[in-house]
Amino acid sequence: MKSAEIARRFLTFFERNGHTVVPSASLIAEDPTLLLINAGMAPFKPYFLGQRRPEYPRAASAQKCIRTPDIDEVGKTTRHATFFQMLGNFSFGDYFKERAIPLAWELLTAPVADGGFGLPESKLWVTVYLDDDEAADIWRREVGVPADRIQRLGMEENFWSMGVPGPCGPASEICYDRGPAYGREGGPEANDERYLELWNLVFMQNIRGEGGAKKDYPIVGDLPAKNIDTGMGLERIAAILQGVDNIYEVDTTRRILDHAARLTGVAYGRDDRSDVALRVVADHLRGGTMLVADGVMPGNEGRGYVLRRILRRAVRNLRLLGSGDQRYLHELTATAIEVMGEQYPELIAEAGRIHTVIDAEEASFAATLRTGTSLFDTAVEQTRRSGGTQLAGAQAFTLHDTYGFPIDLTLEMAAEAGLSVDEEGFRRLMAEQRERAKADAAAKKTGNADISAYTDLLESAGASSFIGYDATVAEATVVGLVVDGVPAAAAGAGSTVELMLDRTPFYAEGGGQLADQGSIRLGGGAEIDVHDVQQVVPGLIAHRGKVVSGEAVVGDTAYSEIDLQRRQAISRAHSATHLVHAGVRRALGESAAQAGSENSPGRFRFDFTSPGAVPVSVLRDVEDEVNAVLEENLAVNAFHTSIDQARAMGAVAMFNEKYGDEVRVVEIGEYSRELCGGTHVHNSGELGLIKILGESSIGAGVRRVEALVGLDAFRYLSRESVLVSQLSDQLKVRREELPERIDGIVTRLRAAERELEKLRSAQVLQAAGRLAEEAADIGGAAFVAHRAPDGTGPDDLRRLALDVRGRIPADRPAAVVITGVPKDRPVVVVAVNEAGRRRELKAGELVGVAARALGGGGGGKPDVAQGGGTDPGAIGTALDAVRRTVADRVAAGA
């Protein structure tokens, strides 16, 4: 039974049993305390916490999930995966144990022909919480599970909470006996590899207090309503039903694994090491594809870092499999899209964008590997020069943490170089970093953002009605006030408030469009200066501002007026964004999908996926095309329709936006048609002019265009024209000749600068002979301390130090210290010859002494080192400090 069919059967079964089937939420969590959706119940947390009233008493879903805490175990065990799907049924104060338990058993054991999964009852075991006699009795008496196949386990195994104070309750797990080949008898309490947990039924009935994440916390009360939260891993049940050994061999993952095996020429099932690598590649490609599809972009923090990490782990494991410099992610991503597309058709629709993002990240990591390899070679050279046979843990950690160089690759390359790696030191530094991250996360974790003030208000007063498409002023009623997160009946002058109205012309920030600003006057005489508008919970609009006079009171009549000039400027920018989006897609293809935007008064930015920079000529063509559209004065129309009809019409959707069954479509003639809730002009001619300023990279595979519109664009071009006129007058050439003339000037200037640099360097080096001859004698060692003329560059300081050192007889210990101030900050270079190093003179140590005196730092090799500081006035002190250190070392080594 294929995975798509398993999910369909699950949802169909619960729909027949009175549940509302809820589509999978995006992996990007709405909950601000969650980085990504990591459990099937996560989208329903506000219902369980009582922060929102559920729209239905029962629900069922097949939820996409991402977990990375145990990422190093992926591929090594049968149960760890970064991406997985959780099948779940939920009751919000409707039914409880008496219904949840029989439903689960019926679905698992009913014949396949009757819509069930057909598992033999004799293979199923059940666990319950230690003192949950009620659940045990239901299993035994109502379902008929033999008593000897019902086991009681403790809080850590069979009691669920979110890890923080809040809802919790006992759990009951259904486990499948995979047979003696997987371990000894005795049920789940004896062997959880053989008795594989399939389905966890959580009976959410209690409230927990402070304490440990999984145990050692007090139960402080009962929930006012008892809830059901269940979760069955789709991949686990698929492994059982498909008769495979582990979750990596189910249909949706095995095809990616087999493709990776073919590409790298490695047979699956012959070697543990290569098997683990193939599983990692298959799992991570599936997870990475799903993350990109939901709008996550590779980055160095947050969700972006999760995506970057798993994609780079996939590349690293392909390399371990022998891929060399070959890039295989494109082909493997195509397979992932194909195998998951039956369950998630949006993958097929977004294939071009997904490929663009993943291909760009693979190319970026290839560059990282080149940099890391160069740094690794330097570390190997330093280790060998010092007579060592082991790379320091700190070096391996720096390669990994700073440059993204995988530790496994470091181990492999070190072995090829005949060296080992201080793995213990590396692991210690990694552990310290993880502890810092955990401490930071613990400090930020609050369980769930407190939005109860808003949800209570939404429930009592109803949703806010936005009338701003047609009105810029309106009369309304104040239905709520929130001050510092707490509901208030009134707020006096000087108060910063969030004011809710039953109807409003103010646009709440969303879809890339900035919020309206303006003023609200109340019938009681108060006036509020509105500086921001947000939809704090779905359906409720909060006007944020300051009470500048009078007292705002709930129930007052409100007269709202937006800043019309600002709104019009933002609307022009929003319409211009749609046009540029259409122009870019026409020029680059449909893979150039929108990845974000911001529409401000008179200017906008537009982000889109692209594997590389967009040529200036293409941007110029796009600009010409969209300005031609402005001349056509195309009508701008907005209308509501079904999401399916909008897609059939070819309306473009922003990939990480959430849309309901009914959507708003904005079309500009036949040139542009997008799903959009923002405000726009009435016809394209109102924009006047669009000027694209340029484009740049904001991440792997994502480019940003910035542009001006209307009067702002005209003013920009006017200033440019004045500047060009001034240059033309000053250089005595026509405008069209300016590029050639300026290029000639720049060429001559650079040539002159090179000649000056040569003269300066020659002048500096002329002093080398004299400095060597005048070297001071310190205990038989030659010591040179010299301050070069200000402006001397670091490279010249280094050349002078090496030249002076080379002029001193090789058998005489020598230390040369050269300082200078290239650009306001002092630089120091120390060079020590071999005879000096035998007398315990080390350049790295000496440069550190000087740099500290200069208020900075530095280091390097024993023969030559460089440092710097912040205090040019301390150069004399620094040279004296080095002189004393040389004297001490020479005396000690005599």
708, 596 contact by CB (below 8 A): no
Report d(CA 548, CA 499) in Å as an integer.
14
User: 713-719: long-range contacts at Cβ-Cβ below 8 A with a sequence spacing of 24 or more?
Assistant: 713/602, 713/688, 713/689, 714/688, 714/689, 716/691, 717/689, 717/691
pLDDT of residue 844: 87
Among 83-92, 386-395, 755-764, top mean pLDDT goes to 83-92
**H or E stretch at 813:** none
219, 131 contact by CB (below 8 A): no
241, 232 contact by CB (below 8 A): no
pLDDT at 702 over 90: no
Residue 259, annotated as binding a ligand: no
Sheet holding 814-820, edge to edge: 776-778, 781-787, 814-820, 827-832, 864-868, 857-860
Residue 355, annotated as binding a ligand: no
pLDDT of residue 731: 87
Percent of the chain residues topping a pLDDT of 70 = 95
Look at residue 728 and give its three-state secondary structure: helix
Return the C-alpha torsion angle 60, 65, 70, 72, nearest 10: 140
**Residues 6 or more apart in contact with residue 515 via CB below 8 angstroms:** 506, 507, 508, 509, 532, 533, 534
CA dihedral sign, ordered 729, 731, 737, 743: negative
- Provide the pLDDT confidence category of residue 660 given band limits of 50, 70 and 90: low
Mutual angle of helices 738-765 and 794-807, in 10-degree steps: 30
804, 832 contact by CB (below 8 A): no
Report d(CA 174, CA 232) in Å as an integer.
9
- The dihedral region occupied by 525, where left means phi > 0, alpha psi between -120 and 50, and beta the remainder, is left
User: 129-137: long-range contacts at Cβ-Cβ below 8 A with a sequence spacing of 24 or more?
Assistant: 129/153, 129/154, 129/155, 129/158, 129/159, 129/170, 129/171, 129/172, 130/154, 130/155, 130/158, 132/158, 132/170, 132/172, 132/203, 134/97, 135/97, 135/101, 135/170, 135/172, 135/203
DSSP code of residue 493 = T
Burial of 520 (0-12, 13-18, 19+ CB in 10 A): buried
Q: Give tens-digit pLDDT for 487-539.
A: 899 999 999 999 999 999 999 998 889 999 999 999 989 999 999 999 988 88
Nearest to 885 by CA among 856, 851, 861: 851
Look at residue 435 and give its three-state secondary structure: helix
Alpha helices in 601-737 (DSSP H): 616-631, 643-648, 711-731
List the single range of 459-468, 471-480, 646-655 with lowest mean pLDDT.
646-655
662, 640 contact by CB (below 8 A): yes
Q: Give tens-digit pLDDT for 597-609.
A: 899 999 999 888 8
CA dihedral sign, ordered 641, 642, 643, 646: negative
Q: Whole-number mean pLDDT of the chain?
A: 88
Q: Give tens-digit pLDDT for 168-225.
A: 899 999 999 999 988 899 999 988 888 999 999 999 999 888 887 778 888 888 888 8
pLDDT of residue 361: 87
Q: What tokens were used for 629?
A: 């559209």
- The dihedral region occupied by 688, where left means phi > 0, alpha psi between -120 and 50, and beta the remainder, is left
> How confident is the model over 243-257, as a mean pLDDT?
92
Report d(CA 51, CA 44) in Å as an integer.
10
pLDDT of residue 97: 95
101, 127 contact by CB (below 8 A): no
Cα distances (Å, whole numbers) of residue 275 to 194, 254, 316: 21, 12, 14
pLDDT of residue 454: 84
Higher pLDDT, residue 79 or 205: 205
Look at residue 739 and give its three-state secondary structure: helix
Nearest to 523 by CA among 582, 460, 476: 476
> How confident is the model over 750-760, as a mean pLDDT?
82
Q: How many CB atoms lie within 10 A of CB 387?
A: 6
> How confident is the model over 55-75, as a mean pLDDT?
88
Alpha helices in 595-681 (DSSP H): 616-631, 643-648
Report d(CA 572, CA 742) in Å as an integer.
36
Which backbone phi and psi does 670 adopt, to 5 degrees? Answer: -100, 5
pLDDT at 271 over 90: no
> How confident is the model over 134-150, as a mean pLDDT?
94
pLDDT of residue 442: 45
Q: How far apart are the first and last CA of the chain?
A: 83
Residue 168, annotated as binding a ligand: no
Percent of the chain residues topping a pLDDT of 90 = 51
Q: Which residues of 469-482 are buried (b: 16+ CB within 10 A; e: fewer)?
A: eeebebebebbbbb
Q: What tokens were used for 596?
A: 């974000």
Report d(CA 52, CA 314) in Å as an integer.
40
Half-sphere exposure of 617 (CA within 13 A, CB side): 0
Q: How far is CA 273 from the centre of its chain?
A: 30
Q: What tokens were used for 115?
A: 């819509």
SS3 string, 824-869, reads CCCEEEEEECHHHHHCCCCHHHHHHHHHHHCCCEEEECCCEEEEEC
pLDDT of residue 736: 84
Q: Give tens-digit pLDDT for 317-371.
A: 898 888 877 889 999 999 999 999 989 998 998 888 899 889 988 888 887 777 7
- Provide the pLDDT confidence category of residue 657 given band limits of 50, 70 and 90: low
pLDDT of residue 655: 54
39, 65 contact by CB (below 8 A): yes
Report d(CA 575, CA 709) in Å as an integer.
10
Report d(CA 611, CA 461) in Å as an integer.
49
Report d(CA 701, CA 718) in Å as an integer.
34
- Provide the pLDDT confidence category of residue 658 given band limits of 50, 70 and 90: low
CA dihedral sign, ordered 128, 133, 138, 143: positive
pLDDT at 139 over 70: yes
Report d(CA 85, CA 290) in Å as an integer.
11
pLDDT at 440 over 60: no
User: 47-51: long-range contacts at Cβ-Cβ below 8 A with a sequence spacing of 24 or more?
Assistant: 47/92, 47/227, 48/92, 48/167, 48/204, 48/227, 48/229, 49/166, 49/167, 49/448, 50/224, 50/452, 51/448, 51/450, 51/451, 51/452, 51/455
Report d(CA 565, CA 571) in Å as an integer.
10
Look at residue 206 and give its three-state secondary structure: strand
Domains of the chain in sequence order: 3-244 (3.30.930.10), 250-444 (no CATH), 452-562 (2.40.30.130), 567-716 (3.30.980.10), 770-893 (3.10.310.40)
DSSP characters over 454-478: HHHHHHHH-PPEE-TTT-SEEEEEE
Report d(CA 614, CA 612) in Å as an integer.
6
Look at residue 163 and give its three-state secondary structure: coil
Mutual angle of helices 272-293 and 251-264, in 10-degree steps: 120
Residue 676, annotated as binding a ligand: yes
